[in-house]
Amino acid sequence: MPGGAAAAVPGEAELAQRAGSAVAEAPPDSGRGGPGLFAPAYRALTAGAVALVALVGFEALAVTTAMPTVARSLDGLSLYALAFAGTLAASVVGMVAAGPWADARGPAAPLRQGIAWFALGLLLAGAAPSMPWLIAGRVVQGFGGGLISVALYVVVGRVYPPQLHARIFAAFAAAWVVPAIVGPAISGAIVESLGWRWVFLSVPLAAAVAAWLVLPALRGLGPSAAAAAIAAMQRARMAWALLATASLLALHYGGQLRDATAWLWIGAAVAALAAAASRLLPPGALRAKRGLPTVVALRGLAAGAFFLSEAYIPLLLAQERGLSPTWAGLVLTLGAIGWSTGSWFRGRAPADADARRFLQAGMALLGLGVIAIGALAWAATPLALGIAGWVLAGFGMGLMYPTLSVLMLELSPPERQGESSSALHLGDAIFTATALAIGGSLFAALLTRSHLLAYLCGFAIAAALALLGLGLASRVRVATAPSSR
């Protein structure tokens, strides 16, 4: 976060009206000369938002831990990757809808709807009699998650002053600490004692509690200036979002076919996905143009590498190393703690630190970590080596995510922060779902020939994404005065 330049946020009087108390009356943040995250103006909102992020973190890690058991129970190992990618593909629609919605009417409505759809999807997945039914529930859940993720980012840009942006994003990442410690272990214990369905069915009640915490703090948070015209122009993006979602699902379907028609499906899906992504992401994102396009591309590459690897770690540890769901989940716990530690470290770096250095270090650690955890496909590789590598991968993600989030706000004018937040999360979803589609298809094709090659292929794709990100990290450029594009 070099310099202190960031996108403008509303003035103190407007913040006071929205948050319910005057910023001027907030006690200074010790040693920092300004209001902190838990000053009266921000206390309820910070607590609610962090609680919501923690809930999403728990669900993500818990479901990842349980999915090998789910796939075996529902005889759906060939659809294993789609259980993750379907969620991401549907989140594209939620993200595109949330951006202009939040800009035009404020973030409270998309956040409220997102929590509701998220909970409904969990209930459907928990009641699933078959793998396609479970995937349908995950798709509904993904739509809600897309609304939530963008709405929270808009809240940060609209409510918190620039000097608190790095700290609130670091707090979001650190909110994974508790679910990272207890989530996979609890999920494993639930799977072994009560059954995998309760991993899904136990979360909706907690989602209702999170909504009760965060939504009251957003009363009065209305549209941004000049947002109505922008929102009207953005409605056309919904068609491209639907095309992207359909293309990602078609890419998965084509990868499951074993005849000549597979290439027709894959070719058509790739062409349609490229067309949709070029309209949904900032111009130049697919070729890493300097500035905001590179920020979006780097987030997508990092997310694709990390979450492709994370999806297959429990399966690798359970099937090839004989670990129980609880012990396999503990490996995810250590990676998430590494992420939170990296975020904590990033949040305490000097304000004038060069963002490119954090991005380069993060990508390098991510690549090394993916290689180390992937090496566990060889029986001779010490388990400790792979676990240590996954901790390093998590630490690298913790360095990168807050950095990229702050850069996004710095490079976005206030009336476009909803759109830019949407683009940042869209990059995550599109890149990760594409990586899962390619990796999952190759995994399913190679699994009958060699388990070793099947796993190594997926982790090799993830390592290649991290290496590409390392090469592109130097292309980040921070603007001192953002302007509408």
Q: Above 90 in pLDDT, residue 308?
A: yes
| Measured distance CA(246)–CA(481) in Å, rounded | 37
Q: Above 60 in pLDDT, residue 451?
A: yes
Provide the percentage of residues in the chain whose pLDDT is more than 90: 25
Under 8 Å between Cβ of 423 and 404: no
| Measured distance CA(188)–CA(201) in Å, rounded | 15
Q: pLDDT class for 235, splitting at 50, 70, 90?
A: low
Q: pLDDT class for 28, splitting at 50, 70, 90?
A: very low
Looking at residue 297, its pLDDT comes to: 92
Mean pLDDT computed over 326-345? 85
Mean pLDDT computed over 122-135? 92
Q: pLDDT class for 135, splitting at 50, 70, 90?
A: very high
Whole domain around residue 448: which residue ranges? 12-27+38-475
| CB contact burial 11-20 (16+ within 10 A = b; e otherwise) | eeebbbebbb
| Rg, C-alpha atoms of the chain | 21
Mean pLDDT computed over 137-148? 89
Structure tokens at 364: 């390098």
Q: pLDDT class for 484, splitting at 50, 70, 90?
A: very low
pTM for the full model?
0.72
Domain-embedded: residue 177? yes
Looking at residue 2, its pLDDT comes to: 30
Question: Averaging pLDDT over each range in 139-143, 204-208, 445-449, which range is the top one?
Answer: 139-143
Between residues 74 and 226, the one the model is more confident about: 74
DSSP structure class, residue 340: H
| Measured distance CA(283)–CA(194) in Å, rounded | 49
| Measured distance CA(158)–CA(168) in Å, rounded | 13
Block residue for tokens 């075996």:
72
Provide CB contacts within 8 A for 310, sequence distance 6+.
64, 332, 335
Structure tokens at 236: 């056309």
Q: Above 60 in pLDDT, residue 3?
A: no
The 10s digit of each residue's pLDDT in 167-190 is 887 788 777 666 767 777 788 888
Q: pLDDT class for 360, splitting at 50, 70, 90?
A: very high
Mean pLDDT for all residues in the chain: 80
Q: pLDDT class for 27, splitting at 50, 70, 90?
A: very low
Under 8 Å between Cβ of 467 and 292: no
- Cα–Cα distance list, 363 to 1, 308, 315, 425, 470 (Å): 17, 15, 24, 18, 5
Mean pLDDT computed over 308-318? 91
Mean pLDDT computed over 223-246? 69
Structure tokens at 304: 């694709």
Looking at residue 31, its pLDDT comes to: 39
Alpha helix (H) ranges present in 291-375?
292-319, 325-347, 355-374
Q: pLDDT class for 370, splitting at 50, 70, 90?
A: very high
Strand, helix or coil for residue 28: strand
| CB contact burial 110-146 (16+ within 10 A = b; e otherwise) | bbbbbbbbbbbbbebbbebeebeebbbbbbbbbbbbb
Count CB-CB contacts under 10 A for residue 208. 11
Q: pLDDT class for 234, splitting at 50, 70, 90?
A: low
Q: Please, what is the Cα angle at 200 between 197 and 203, to 5 degrees?
A: 140
Provide CB contacts within 8 A for 120, sequence distance 6+.
140, 141, 144, 204
Looking at residue 95, its pLDDT comes to: 78
The 10s digit of each residue's pLDDT in 78-88 is 788 888 888 88
Rounded (to 5) percent helix, strand, coil in the chain: 80, 0, 20
Domain-embedded: residue 5? no
Type of residue found at 399: L
Looking at residue 459, its pLDDT comes to: 95
Domain-embedded: residue 7? no
Structure tokens at 355: 């963002």
Residue 481 sits at φ, ψ, to 5 deg, of -145, 90
Looking at residue 139, its pLDDT comes to: 92
Q: Which of 243-247, 274-278, 479-483 has the weakest average pLDDT?
A: 479-483
Q: How many domains does the chain have?
A: 1
Q: pLDDT class for 152, splitting at 50, 70, 90?
A: confident
Using CA of residue 133, residue 94, residue 179, residue 404, what is the dihedral sign? positive
Between residues 16 and 228, the one the model is more confident about: 228
Mean pLDDT computed over 29-36? 51
| CB contact burial 74-86 (16+ within 10 A = b; e otherwise) | bebbebbbbbbbb
Q: pLDDT class for 485, splitting at 50, 70, 90?
A: very low
CATH code for position 213: 1.20.1250.20
Q: pLDDT class for 283, splitting at 50, 70, 90?
A: confident
Structure tokens at 146: 């897309």
Count CB-CB contacts under 10 A for residue 352. 9
Looking at residue 134, its pLDDT comes to: 93
